[in-house]
């Protein structure tokens, strides 16, 4: 620990004396990322944007950089960490809240990891509700029909959200906002979280009860060993017939094959998915002119009661600006040898 802190102080001293720029390599950077970060460029920082994702084959792009800035689908495994450290990268700056794609144990003693724990919970929660409304009121189908001047209402009957029971798994900032929105619709809100909060406007119940009694289940929990495939064949079998599942958190929270079976068996009434467990090689890219080999995803997309967006829930101007501001602040404080408050602790290796 002393060596790591000493090295940070040493590099900070060199930068002050030599007025060296902090070189930041952005991976999986899209045009909207560049637009959000460019206003923060100055004489002390150099932003290098790569549209490719970080992985073992691309880690060489971070050579001679001080910071690697990554997003949700970058693969920051132990081998990548080892190479980043060897290149002299001292900080891994996540421009997102989740960090399940980072081998934190491998970072111990090598690289500091920071994240953006909160940017706009409203963006994600509102997108979850937008998908739900679109699904239950058949708006996506009506839009396509009217484009062809088909104004028939046959097959477009939906149902009221008012009075329905929604179960929210995970009551962090996003989950709380989603609960508030649901309460505004007059829904009965149930919640499950290992760490209940007194400020949540919902009734906390056990996970089994939530799954059994909810008309709609919305996932807002982090991905970890306990929550991976929290929606699986067993939990789907326990749900109400016609239950709706919403996922704007992480794809691996749902067993996709089990979800597909539940839809085919008419057990699941609808699925609103902004994430998918095998999304890393697909989402954020245009494959419209290609054959996609993921049969499970292809079958999900063909289902008439599935709405899928490509990890879009965070994508608002407010959220992008907040992410950029927080990420830059994390980097600046680190280079000044100041705590950011957003460091992620390292688990012991097993």
Predicted local distance difference test score (pLDDT) of residue 15: 47
Predicted local distance difference test score (pLDDT) of residue 214: 98
Distance separating alpha carbons of residues 269 and 230, to the nearest angstrom: 18
Residues 84 and 151 in one domain: no
In this predicted model, what pLDDT tens digit does every residue of 33-51 receive, in sequence order?
999 999 998 988 999 999 9
Residues 169 and 294 in one domain: yes
Residues 129 and 113 in one domain: no
To the nearest 10 degrees (0 to 180), the angle between helices 121-136 and 173-184 is 40
Residues 180 and 328 in one domain: no
Distance separating alpha carbons of residues 57 and 68, to the nearest angstrom: 15
Predicted local distance difference test score (pLDDT) of residue 348: 56
- State pTM to two decimals: 0.87
Residues 173 and 289 in one domain: yes
Predicted local distance difference test score (pLDDT) of residue 262: 98
Q: Phi, psi (5° rounding) for residue 37?
A: -90, -30
Is the Cβ–Cβ distance between 192 and 206 less than 8 Å? yes
- Whether 342 is in a domain gets the answer no
Rounded average pLDDT over 57-64:
96
Rounded average pLDDT over 116-127:
94
In 3D space, the residue among 340, 329, 333, 322 whose CA is nearest the CA of residue 36 turns out to be: 322
User: Left if phi > 0, otherwise alpha if psi is -120 to 50, otherwise beta: which for 307?
Assistant: beta
- Whether 36 is in a domain gets the answer yes
DSSP state of 161: -
Is the pLDDT confidence value at 20 over 80? Answer: no
- Whether 348 is in a domain gets the answer no
Residues 202 and 114 in one domain: no
In this predicted model, what pLDDT tens digit does every residue of 172-184 receive, in sequence order?
999 999 999 999 9
- Whether 341 is in a domain gets the answer no
Rounded average pLDDT over 266-273:
98
- Whether 146 is in a domain gets the answer yes
- Whether 345 is in a domain gets the answer no
State the CATH number of the domain containing residue 15: 3.40.50.720
Res. 31 pLDDT band, cuts 50 70 90: very high
Res. 276 pLDDT band, cuts 50 70 90: very high
- Whether 347 is in a domain gets the answer no
Percentage of the chain with pLDDT > 90? 88
Predicted local distance difference test score (pLDDT) of residue 21: 85
Q: Phi, psi (5° rounding) for residue 137?
A: -105, 5
Range with the poorest average pLDDT among 196-200, 236-240, 267-271: 196-200
Residues 155 and 274 in one domain: yes
In this predicted model, what pLDDT tens digit does every residue of 217-236 receive, in sequence order?
999 999 999 999 999 999 99
Residues 144 and 259 in one domain: yes
Predicted local distance difference test score (pLDDT) of residue 118: 85
Q: What end-to-end distance do the CA atoms of the chain give, in Å?
A: 20
Q: Which residue has the tokens 């899209």?
A: 30
Residues 155 and 226 in one domain: yes
Predicted local distance difference test score (pLDDT) of residue 347: 65
Predicted local distance difference test score (pLDDT) of residue 4: 45
Is the Cβ–Cβ distance between 79 and 110 less than 8 Å? no
Rounded average pLDDT over 100-109:
94
Catalytic residues: 250, 279, 311
Rounded average pLDDT over 329-335:
95
Determine the structural domain holding residue 105 and report its residue range.
2-119+317-335
To the nearest 10 degrees (0 to 180), the angle between helices 139-147 and 121-136 is 70
Residues 99 and 154 in one domain: no
Domain count across the chain: 2
- Whether 82 is in a domain gets the answer yes
In this predicted model, what pLDDT tens digit does every residue of 1-16 receive, in sequence order?
444 445 544 554 444 4
Res. 345 pLDDT band, cuts 50 70 90: confident
Helix (H) or strand (E) segment spanning residue 7: helix 2-18
Residues 67 and 207 in one domain: no
Residues 172 and 279 in one domain: yes
Tallying the residues shown for the chain, one arrives at 350
| Averaged pLDDT score across all residues of the chain | 92
Range with the poorest average pLDDT among 124-133, 251-260, 276-285: 276-285
Rounded average pLDDT over 232-244:
98
Rounded average pLDDT over 109-138:
95
Q: Which residues contact 289 (CB under 8 A, 6 or more apart)?
A: none
Res. 18 pLDDT band, cuts 50 70 90: very low
Res. 280 pLDDT band, cuts 50 70 90: confident
Is the pLDDT confidence value at 342 over 90? Answer: yes
Percentage of the chain with pLDDT > 70? 93
Distance separating alpha carbons of residues 179 and 202, to the nearest angstrom: 7
């Amino acid at each position: 620990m002393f060596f790591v802190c000493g090295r940070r102080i040493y590099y900070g001293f060199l930068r002050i004396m030599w007025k060296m720029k902090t070189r930041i390599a952005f991976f999986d950077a899209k045009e909207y990322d560049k637009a959000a970060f460019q206003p923060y460029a100055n004489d002390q920082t150099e932003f290098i944007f790569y549209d490719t994702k970080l992985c073992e084959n691309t880690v060489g792009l971070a050579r001679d950089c001080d910071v690697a800035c990554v997003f949700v689908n970058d693969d920051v495994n132990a081998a990548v960490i080892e190479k980043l450290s060897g290149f002299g990268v001292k900080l891994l700056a996540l421009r997102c809240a989740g960090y399940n794609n980072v081998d934190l144990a491998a970072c111990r003693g090598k690289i500091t990891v920071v994240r953006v724990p909160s940017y706009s919970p409203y963006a994600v929660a509102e997108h979850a509700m937008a998908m739900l409304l679109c699904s239950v009121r058949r708006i996506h189908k009506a839009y396509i029909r009217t484009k062809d001047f088909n104004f028939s209402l046959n097959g477009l009957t939906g149902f009221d959200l008012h009075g329905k029971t929604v179960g929210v798994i995970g009551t962090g900032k996003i989950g709380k906002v989603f609960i508030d929105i649901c309460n505004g619709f007059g829904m009965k809100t149930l919640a499950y979280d290992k760490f209940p909060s007194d400020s949540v406007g919902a009734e906390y119940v056990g996970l089994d009860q939530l799954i059994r009694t909810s008309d709609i289940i919305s996932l807002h929990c982090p991905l970890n060993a306990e929550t991976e495939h929290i929606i699986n064949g067993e939990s789907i079998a326990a749900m109400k017939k016609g239950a709706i599942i919403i996922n704007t958190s992480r794809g691996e929270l749902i067993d996709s094959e089990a979800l597909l079976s539940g839809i085919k068996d008419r057990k699941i009434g609808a699925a609103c998915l902004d994430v998918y467990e095998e999304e890393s090689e697909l989402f954020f890219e245009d494959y419209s002119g290609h054959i996609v080999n993921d049969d499970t995803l292809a079958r999900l997309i063909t289902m008439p009661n599935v709405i899928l967006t490509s990890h879009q829930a965070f994508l608002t101007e407010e959220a992008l600006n907040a992410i950029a501001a927080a990420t830059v602040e994390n980097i600046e404080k680190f280079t000044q040898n100041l705590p950011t408050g957003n460091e992620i602790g390292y688990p012991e290796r097993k």
